[in-house]
Amino acid sequence: MAAARRPYHHGNLRRTLLDAAVEVIEEVGPAQMSLREVSRRAGVSNAAPTHHFGDKPGLLTALATEGYRLLAAALAQARQHLDDFVEVGVAYVNFALSHRAHFEVMFRPELYHRDDRELLASQRAAAEHLYEPAAAQLGESTSHRRDPGIAAWSLAHGLATLILNGNLEPDTAKDAERLARRIGRLLVDHPLQR
Protein backbone atom coordinates (compact mmCIF):
# COMPACT_ATOMS: atom_id res chain seq x y z
CA MET A 1 0.00 0.00 0.00
CA ALA A 2 1.20 3.48 -0.75
CA ALA A 3 1.94 5.73 2.18
CA ALA A 4 -0.64 8.47 2.60
CA ARG A 5 0.23 10.54 -0.42
CA ARG A 6 1.05 14.14 0.37
CA PRO A 7 -0.47 16.29 -2.35
CA TYR A 8 1.80 18.66 -4.19
CA HIS A 9 -0.34 21.61 -3.26
CA HIS A 10 -0.77 22.19 0.40
CA GLY A 11 -4.06 24.01 0.37
CA ASN A 12 -3.51 26.07 3.49
CA LEU A 13 0.18 26.75 3.55
CA ARG A 14 0.03 30.41 4.46
CA ARG A 15 -1.81 29.65 7.67
CA THR A 16 0.40 26.65 8.39
CA LEU A 17 3.53 28.75 8.01
CA LEU A 18 2.22 31.44 10.33
CA ASP A 19 1.38 28.83 12.95
CA ALA A 20 4.81 27.26 12.62
CA ALA A 21 6.40 30.68 12.98
CA VAL A 22 4.46 31.27 16.20
CA GLU A 23 5.77 27.99 17.52
CA VAL A 24 9.36 28.81 16.66
CA ILE A 25 9.12 32.33 18.06
CA GLU A 26 7.78 31.02 21.34
CA GLU A 27 10.88 28.87 21.61
CA VAL A 28 13.68 31.14 20.40
CA GLY A 29 12.26 34.64 20.11
CA PRO A 30 11.45 36.63 16.99
CA ALA A 31 14.99 37.69 16.15
CA GLN A 32 16.33 34.12 16.03
CA MET A 33 13.40 32.69 14.16
CA SER A 34 14.57 31.42 10.77
CA LEU A 35 12.53 30.77 7.67
CA ARG A 36 14.29 27.45 7.25
CA GLU A 37 13.17 26.23 10.65
CA VAL A 38 9.64 27.40 9.95
CA SER A 39 9.68 25.56 6.61
CA ARG A 40 10.97 22.43 8.28
CA ARG A 41 8.12 22.44 10.80
CA ALA A 42 5.55 23.08 8.13
CA GLY A 43 7.01 20.19 6.14
CA VAL A 44 7.74 22.19 3.01
CA SER A 45 10.84 23.32 1.14
CA ASN A 46 13.02 26.31 2.05
CA ALA A 47 11.69 28.32 -0.79
CA ALA A 48 8.01 27.95 0.00
CA PRO A 49 7.68 30.86 2.48
CA THR A 50 9.12 33.31 -0.04
CA HIS A 51 6.20 32.51 -2.25
CA HIS A 52 3.68 33.64 0.35
CA PHE A 53 5.48 36.42 2.15
CA GLY A 54 8.17 37.70 -0.19
CA ASP A 55 10.89 37.72 2.40
CA LYS A 56 11.50 37.20 6.08
CA PRO A 57 10.36 40.65 7.23
CA GLY A 58 7.26 39.97 5.14
CA LEU A 59 6.33 36.97 7.25
CA LEU A 60 6.87 38.95 10.43
CA THR A 61 4.78 41.80 9.05
CA ALA A 62 1.92 39.38 8.54
CA LEU A 63 2.28 38.14 12.11
CA ALA A 64 2.40 41.65 13.54
CA THR A 65 -0.69 42.65 11.58
CA GLU A 66 -2.54 39.59 12.77
CA GLY A 67 -1.41 40.40 16.30
CA TYR A 68 -2.76 43.94 16.21
CA ARG A 69 -6.05 42.67 14.86
CA LEU A 70 -6.39 40.09 17.59
CA LEU A 71 -5.47 42.68 20.18
CA ALA A 72 -8.00 45.17 18.87
CA ALA A 73 -10.69 42.50 18.99
CA ALA A 74 -9.80 41.52 22.55
CA LEU A 75 -9.85 45.13 23.73
CA ALA A 76 -13.11 45.85 21.95
CA GLN A 77 -14.73 42.92 23.66
CA ALA A 78 -13.49 44.05 27.06
CA ARG A 79 -14.94 47.52 26.51
CA GLN A 80 -18.27 46.15 25.45
CA HIS A 81 -18.77 43.69 28.25
CA LEU A 82 -17.23 45.49 31.15
CA ASP A 83 -17.15 49.18 30.38
CA ASP A 84 -14.29 49.82 32.76
CA PHE A 85 -10.94 51.01 31.58
CA VAL A 86 -9.02 48.99 34.12
CA GLU A 87 -10.55 45.92 32.52
CA VAL A 88 -9.30 47.04 29.14
CA GLY A 89 -5.81 47.04 30.62
CA VAL A 90 -6.42 43.60 32.06
CA ALA A 91 -7.46 42.41 28.61
CA TYR A 92 -4.24 43.86 27.19
CA VAL A 93 -2.13 41.89 29.65
CA ASN A 94 -4.12 38.74 29.00
CA PHE A 95 -3.59 39.15 25.30
CA ALA A 96 0.17 39.56 25.70
CA LEU A 97 0.45 36.40 27.78
CA SER A 98 -1.82 34.26 25.63
CA HIS A 99 -0.30 35.46 22.33
CA ARG A 100 3.28 35.80 23.38
CA ALA A 101 4.77 35.31 19.92
CA HIS A 102 2.51 37.85 18.24
CA PHE A 103 3.07 40.32 21.03
CA GLU A 104 6.85 40.05 20.87
CA VAL A 105 6.88 40.58 17.13
CA MET A 106 4.49 43.54 17.34
CA PHE A 107 6.93 45.44 19.52
CA ARG A 108 10.05 44.72 17.49
CA PRO A 109 9.31 46.96 14.50
CA GLU A 110 12.92 46.76 13.33
CA LEU A 111 12.14 43.20 12.24
CA TYR A 112 9.23 43.89 9.92
CA HIS A 113 7.97 46.32 7.28
CA ARG A 114 6.68 49.05 9.55
CA ASP A 115 5.12 51.01 6.68
CA ASP A 116 2.80 48.23 5.50
CA ARG A 117 -0.69 49.67 5.00
CA GLU A 118 -2.70 46.88 6.59
CA LEU A 119 -0.32 46.84 9.50
CA LEU A 120 -0.72 50.55 10.12
CA ALA A 121 -4.50 50.29 9.99
CA SER A 122 -4.60 47.45 12.50
CA GLN A 123 -2.22 49.34 14.78
CA ARG A 124 -4.45 52.37 14.76
CA ALA A 125 -7.52 50.33 15.54
CA ALA A 126 -5.89 48.71 18.53
CA ALA A 127 -4.55 52.00 19.87
CA GLU A 128 -7.98 53.60 19.83
CA HIS A 129 -9.39 50.94 22.08
CA LEU A 130 -6.79 51.88 24.64
CA TYR A 131 -6.92 55.64 24.28
CA GLU A 132 -10.65 56.14 24.27
CA PRO A 133 -11.67 54.46 27.50
CA ALA A 134 -8.76 56.09 29.30
CA ALA A 135 -9.66 59.53 28.01
CA ALA A 136 -13.29 58.99 29.03
CA GLN A 137 -12.30 58.17 32.56
CA LEU A 138 -9.29 60.41 33.16
CA GLY A 139 -9.73 63.16 30.63
CA GLU A 140 -10.98 65.71 33.13
CA SER A 141 -7.82 65.46 35.18
CA THR A 142 -5.53 66.85 32.53
CA SER A 143 -5.28 69.34 29.74
CA HIS A 144 -3.10 66.96 27.73
CA ARG A 145 -5.54 64.98 25.64
CA ARG A 146 -3.36 61.98 25.05
CA ASP A 147 -1.91 61.55 28.50
CA PRO A 148 -4.62 59.26 29.88
CA GLY A 149 -4.22 56.88 26.97
CA ILE A 150 -0.46 56.90 27.28
CA ALA A 151 -0.73 56.25 30.99
CA ALA A 152 -3.04 53.28 30.54
CA TRP A 153 -0.99 51.87 27.73
CA SER A 154 2.27 52.29 29.64
CA LEU A 155 0.95 50.57 32.70
CA ALA A 156 -0.50 47.60 30.83
CA HIS A 157 2.43 47.31 28.47
CA GLY A 158 5.00 47.55 31.24
CA LEU A 159 3.34 44.91 33.34
CA ALA A 160 2.95 42.58 30.37
CA THR A 161 6.58 42.86 29.31
CA LEU A 162 7.91 42.50 32.83
CA ILE A 163 5.94 39.29 33.22
CA LEU A 164 6.98 37.98 29.81
CA ASN A 165 10.64 38.76 30.48
CA GLY A 166 10.51 36.91 33.77
CA ASN A 167 11.34 40.00 35.80
CA LEU A 168 8.76 39.39 38.49
CA GLU A 169 8.93 36.64 41.05
CA PRO A 170 7.33 33.53 39.59
CA ASP A 171 4.53 33.24 42.14
CA THR A 172 3.62 36.88 41.61
CA ALA A 173 3.39 36.40 37.88
CA LYS A 174 1.39 33.22 38.14
CA ASP A 175 -2.08 34.68 38.49
CA ALA A 176 -1.38 37.46 36.03
CA GLU A 177 -4.96 38.47 35.48
CA ARG A 178 -5.65 39.08 39.14
CA LEU A 179 -2.33 40.87 39.49
CA ALA A 180 -3.14 43.16 36.58
CA ARG A 181 -6.50 44.01 38.07
CA ARG A 182 -5.04 44.80 41.49
CA ILE A 183 -2.31 46.98 39.98
CA GLY A 184 -4.81 48.90 37.91
CA ARG A 185 -7.14 49.46 40.84
CA LEU A 186 -4.27 50.40 43.12
CA LEU A 187 -3.20 53.31 40.95
CA VAL A 188 -6.63 54.35 39.87
CA ASP A 189 -8.90 54.02 42.86
CA HIS A 190 -6.85 55.05 45.84
CA PRO A 191 -6.24 58.73 46.35
CA LEU A 192 -2.93 59.24 48.07
CA GLN A 193 -2.06 61.03 51.18
CA ARG A 194 0.84 63.29 50.34
Partner DNA sequence: TGTACATCAGTGAACGCGCGTTCACTGATGTAC
Binding site for a copy of itself (CB under 8 A): 28-29, 31-32, 107-110, 137-138, 140-142, 144, 146-148, 150-151, 153-159, 161-162, 165-169, 172, 179, 182-183, 186-194
Contacted entry of a copy of itself, DNA, none for residue 9, CB cut-off 5 to 8 Å set by kind: DNA
Tell me whether residue 36 or residue 182 sits nearer to DNA (CB atom): 36
Instruction: Report the distance separating Cα 60 and Cα 164, nearest Å.
Output: 19
CA distance 5 to 80: 48
Residue choice 18, 35, 105, 183 for contact with DNA (CB under 7 A): 35
45 binds DNA (CB under 7 A): yes
| Residue 13 lies near DNA (rule: CB under 7 A) | yes
Alpha helices in 33-175 (DSSP H): 35-42, 48-53, 56-82, 85-98, 100-106, 117-138, 147-164, 170-174
**DSSP SS3 for 13:** helix
> Under a CB-based contact definition with an 8 Å cutoff, are residues 128 and 96 in contact?
no
Mark residues 89-128: x for contact with DNA by CB under 7 A, - for none.
----------------------------------------
Own/partner pairs, 91-96, CB within 8 angstroms, 24+ separation: 92/130, 92/153, 92/156, 92/157, 92/160, 93/156, 93/159, 93/160, 93/163, 93/176, 93/177, 93/180, 94/176, 94/177, 94/180, 95/70, 95/71, 96/160, 96/161, 96/163, 96/164
Q: Closer CB to DNA, residue 68 or residue 112? A: 112
Is 36 an interacting residue with respect to DNA (CB under 7 A)?
yes
Residue 172 site contact among a copy of itself, DNA, none (CB < 5 to 8 Å, cut-off depends on kind): a copy of itself
| Closest separation in Å from C-beta 107 to DNA | 20
> Which of 50, 94, 137, 161 is the binder for DNA (CB under 7 A)?
50
* Positions in the binding site for DNA (CB under 7 A): 7-11, 13, 33-37, 44-48, 50-52, 55-57
